[in-house]
Structure 1
Amino acid sequence: MAKLIYVTNVSVDGFIEDADGSFNWMPRDEEVFAFTTELVRSVGTFLYGRRLYELMSVWETDASLAAQSELLADFARAWQAADKVVYSSTLAEVSTARTRVERRFDAAAVQRLKATAGGDITIGGAHLAAQAIRAGLVDECQLIVWPVAVGGGKPGLPVGGRTDFELLDERRFRSGVVLLRYRPLVH
């Protein structure tokens, strides 16, 4: 069975966006980016909320990104190779290949996908990931923690209820970024 992995960048105070909806507080870090590319290369399917899908779709729709460096081109190739499922009640059409839209999150359908997928699945978008965590579907959370506190914004983990986690591993990057790998514990 494939693993469902929630991967997200967060500030040290737990936010994926600051109060203005920006994430420009994460500087480019080639070591972290190379790690992320290896993770993306291992993914068979991405599950996205609409906003994150629209942000990530540039890796297929804007060739100038990949033209900037081999590191960026490698990421673009890895991202394009995976299937994508976008959860949105408003998105009329998709701009990338290997992509389909689902109008609502269906835990049973995600469980079936996990049972039949040929590779691991990542889920992105804090709201979508929170639904999957609450449903007990997420096997692992990989938090890429940046050494900055933004003071508020969109939380990276579910709010409004308790979720316990078991630490699986950690990795420190030269820049002070830390990868924390956790298993959510469902009660």
Structure 2
Amino acid sequence: MGILICTGITSLDGYVADAAGNFDWSEPSDEVHTFVNDLERSVSTYLYGRRLYEVMLAWESMHQGDDDQPAVMRDYTAIWQAADKIVYSSTLSGPSSKRTRVERTFDPEAVRTLKATTTGTLSVGGPTLAAHAFAAGLVDEVQMFVSPVVVGGGTRFLPDGLNLSLQLKDEYAFRNGVVYLGYRVLR
């Protein structure tokens, strides 16, 4: 049986983007990116909302063999391109990347079935989509990369009104002040 993780790079005050929609403050250092790559290797399927998918599409056109690209980025390119992607969107006419399908609505039972029939890790990305997964009780782990910045408002990583009991599974402090926190959702 697979697990569903929700991962985000957040500000100290819990936002993935500021009030203007900017998230440039969240760009990972090579050290953080290497750590992210190691976490992402187990992901067999990404579940994305449309906006995050459109941001992540850059990885589809990056070339693994491009020697001008840093090794950490070539590594992530290979990881992202090897995984399946399901994009939940009522507006996209079709996928713009390989190994991708578009679903019009988020169906918790279909995701529950996917979890039950996979041995890999599923990753839900995008706070709006993740809110649906949290509401359906589908998320098994929460992984946060907390950046040393306070943005004062914007798009929250976790939905308002969410109540979860969590168990700290892993933590790591990086040289640039980013802190990784990995939690298991207690049921």
TM range (shorter): over 0.9
Q: How many aligned positions are there?
A: 186
Residue 158 in structure 1 maps to residue 159 in structure 2: yes
Indicate yes or no: 2:23 matched with 1:30.
no
Q: C-alpha displacement at 1:162, in angstroms?
A: 3.0
Task: For residue 147 of structure 1, report the CA deviation from its aligned partner.
Answer: 0.7
**1:1-187 counterparts in 2 under 5 A?**
1-63=1-63, 67-186=68-187
Distance 1:28 1:9, change over 3 A: closer
- Describe the shift of the 1:145–1:65 C-alpha distance in structure 2 as closer, same or farther (beyond 3 A): farther
What's the TM-score once normalised by structure 1's chain length? 0.93
TM normalised by structure 2 equals 0.93
Question: Unaligned 5+ residue runs, structure 1?
Answer: none
1:39-72 deviation line (CA, Å, top 9, x unaligned): 2221100000000011001101244995422221
Cα distance in 1 for partners of 2:65, 2:11 equals: 25
Gaps of 5+ in 2: none
The one-letter code of the counterpart of 1:41 is R
Identity among equivalent positions (%) equals 51
**Deviation of residue 168 (structure 1)?**
2.1
- Please tell me the residue identity of whatever aligns with 1:154: T
Please, what is the CA RMSD of the aligned residues?
1.7
Amino acid at match of 1:158: P
Which 4+ residue blocks in structure 1 deviate beyond 6 angstroms?
A: none
Query: Aligned equivalents of 1:43 and 1:88: distance in 2?
Result: 21
Q: Distance in 2 between matches of 1:137 and 1:27?
A: 28
| C-alpha spacing 1:27/1:80, structure 2 compared with 1 (3 Å) | closer
* Contact in 2 for aligned 1:17/1:23 (Cα 8 Å): yes
